[in-house]
Structure formats: structure tokens, C-alpha cells
Amino acid sequence: MKKKILMIDDEEDFCFFTKKNLEKTREFEVIIETSAAQGVKTAIEQKPDLILLDIIMPELDGSEVAFRLVNDSRTKDIPIIFLTCLAEEKELGRYDGLNLVGGRPFIAKPCNISDLVKVIKEVLERK
């Protein structure tokens, strides 16, 4: 059975290509929200297995979205992976385990799809 992933990110092109590549694995169904506020609503309605969350967005930043999700009994147990362009892969080093922001895993954008899949699977296994 495919895992449902909610991607909340205001960069439409990034979302399109990430969704396409994740769904190509046949392991994931990806729902995209380019509005942070709508992303919170969709998380409540859809109850995804995991959320990919951009840190910098215009209306609400990712930390505020994560705060709302973690403090809502309907979404508090959904794992979140932050996506950020604040750091690049060359600054972080090649993926060799979970990089953490505030105790939550994060991936630098643009991301290598195989690294993203590896992190998603690792986080879902811990759930």
C-alpha cells in the first residue's frame, strides 16, 4: 500500500518535479499544497503518513506550520521532514544519516530524490 505524503511548499516547480519523482517509485502518493494555511487544513483532512514542509514560505513559515500541526491532536503524530534552501548539500555534506533542525529531519533543496526517499523511509520506520 502506498504511503500518503503531503508536501507543503510554495515553489510550484519544485513540488511538481518532486511529486513526479516520488510517485515514480510507486511507493508514495503525493498531495501538494502551495499555501501553508491550506496545507494545515489538508493535513487535518487527509491525515497523511508524512509531511514534507518547506521552511521559508510567504504567509506562514514552516516552523509556525509545524507548531500548529504538533499542537493539534488530529495531526500531532504525523512525522515532518523540513525542506530548506537555507543550506545546500555541499554545506551539509552528503547524506549519511538524518540531519536535524529542532529535532526534526531536514533535507537541503534542491534534493537528490534517492536521498529524499531514504530519509522518508527512515522516518516512516521510526513512526
Residue 5 DSSP label = E
**Model pLDDT, residue 109:** 80
Say whether pLDDT at 91 is over 60. no
Q: Please write the tens of the pLDDT for every residue from 22-78.
A: 999 999 999 999 999 999 999 999 999 999 999 889 888 888 999 999 999 999 999
The model's confidence at residue 21, banded by pLDDT at 50, 70 and 90, is very high
| pLDDT at 88 > cutoff 80 | no
Calpha distance 39→21 (Å, rounded): 21
How many CB atoms within 10 Å of residue 49? 19
Query: What was the pLDDT predicted at 37?
Result: 96
The rounded radius of gyration (Å) of the Cα atoms in the chain is: 13
CATH numbers and ranges of domains, the chain: 3-126 (3.40.50.2300)
Whole-angstrom Cα distance, residue 92 to residue 90? Answer: 6
